Amino acid sequence: MKPSACIPPRPEPGERVGLALCFMFLLWANWVTPLWADDYCRTMPFHPATIVRIVWGNYNFWTGRWFTTLATFFVLDLRPYGSLAAFAVVNAGIFTFLVHVVVHMCRAVAGRPPPACWRDGMVQYLLVFLMLWWLPRTIGEVALWKTGAIGYLWPVAGEMWLLARILSRRTDMNGVQHGAVFLIATFLEPLSLLLTLVLAGDAVRAWKRGRRAPWALLCSHGMGTLVLGIAPGNYVRMRTMTPSPVMDRLDGLLGNLGSLFDPFWLPFVAVIGTGLFLGRRQTPFPACRCAGHGAWFVGLALAYMALLLMFPREALAARVSFPASVLLVCYLTCLLFTCPAGRVFSWVMTSGCAGLAVMHMAIVVPDLVLLARISHDRVASTREQVARDQPVVLPRVTMGPRHKLLYVRKDIIFVGINPDPHNMLTMCFARAMGASSVRSVP
């Protein structure tokens, strides 16, 4: 991808207001979202030596994502001391930072200046936030679930920051930044490998053109990818899964790729498509599809999905496709920035964003409030029964198609208590609450 102008250091018109609105919503959403699923399996009395021993054991016998596991244990084990409040602030900040990086990077790639009107700039930031929330398949799993956010949102934000620096040729870094790059590369295997390949290609191209190549940056990121990839636990875990030949993996990958696109794309495509139609004289079709050099984001998304062939089909959870969704959002953002800066499209963009924001709040807020109330009642009932020294029995909560335990529209963000008291997640909840056993009944 051809580098564009450097990302401007000064805030754009409307940037501070737009990002502040995003941060306030995300802070509230993180605060009301309860612990879920694996979160309870990683809660215990805080003891650094025990945490290190478990992380080392996981690296050798379950997963190479050692830094992800370490960060998750520290967040959840310190929860009696306010770590969940700190996590809400940090996690909301990281999502907001991702919005900031996507907007600045895509504006540079599209080769378009920021709007002069602060209202248009604010609306663009809000539209990008809404796309990042609604276009991924399982935003709850990757942005609100504590374990999932650390494992997916954090590395995506970090790798997008690195990609933005590559595109703007700001690859000279100090020792602390190189250390951060190394840690970022230890989070998520296919995304880490993709950015290592991008860095390698950029370094070779710079070397051939006689420019200073980012060899140090490539080494720090490549070392993180290597430490992640050679972990013995990756191969131990793979042997516990159902054998998956190449064609089986390809079939699962095609299904995963197809499900990236759902009806939630339609309102955003309608707003951006209207803008492209209004600007058809300045940038006629099909030239407008390139959006400067934005079409490269589609290629990166496809390359990322192709790298998922390294995983057995059983491991292709919906949340694994989150980086591809973010890259597709980057392409849509580039298209948005190529739309004409005129009064008509400003009205279309503002009214469309207002409608989408109202839809967003009308759907998400009631569901998260319901989720918080269910969690509060569940924990209170559990503590009451534990105080009476009884096996805990909780009412089963089912919503959505096929009676999943709880849905927030298209995103599962909470798993209720299983009827089987020996279910792993149910046992984790029982242990965290000090109960002898827990089960749910209709």
CA proximity to 313, closest of 261, 254, 262: 254
Is the preceding peptide bond at 286 cis, omega within 30 degrees of 0? Answer: yes
Strand 438-441 versus strand 392-395 pairing type:
parallel
Q: Between these two residues, 142 and 374, which has the higher pLDDT value?
A: 142
- Higher pLDDT: 390 or 352? It is 352
* pLDDT value, residue 279: 81
Over residues 12-27, the pLDDT tens digits come to 899 999 999 999 999 9
164 Cβ neighbours under 8 A, 6+ residues apart:
7, 101, 104, 105, 108
| pLDDT given at position 419 | 83
Long-range pairs for 295-304: beta carbons < 8 A, 24 or more residues apart: 295/331, 296/1, 296/109, 297/109, 297/327, 297/328, 297/330, 297/331, 297/334, 298/327, 298/328, 298/331, 300/194, 300/198, 300/327, 301/325, 301/327, 301/328, 301/331, 303/194, 303/197, 304/190, 304/191, 304/194
Hey, what are 6's tokens? 């450097």
What confidence tier does 7 reach under pLDDT thresholds 50, 70, 90?
A: very low
pLDDT at site 119: 93
340 to 101, 105, 111, 248, 348: CA distances (angstroms): 22, 19, 13, 45, 11
- Give me 86's structure tokens: 């700190």
Q: Phi/psi at 417 (nearest 5 deg)?
A: -70, 135
What confidence tier does 399 reach under pLDDT thresholds 50, 70, 90?
low
Measured between alpha carbons, how far is 334 from 397 in angstroms, rounded to an integer? 42
Q: What integer pLDDT is reported at residue 426 of this predicted model? A: 87
| Tokens read off for 392 | 């805990």
Task: Output the CA angle 263-269-271, nearest 5 degrees.
Answer: 125
pLDDT higher than threshold 80 for residue 6: no
Residue in this structure with the two tokens 């006629």, named with its chain if needed: 284
- The answer to whether the beta carbons of residues 417 and 269 sit under 8 Å apart is no
**pLDDT digits over 149-178, tens only?**
999 999 999 999 999 999 999 999 999 999
- CA 307 – CA 295 distance, rounded (Å): 19
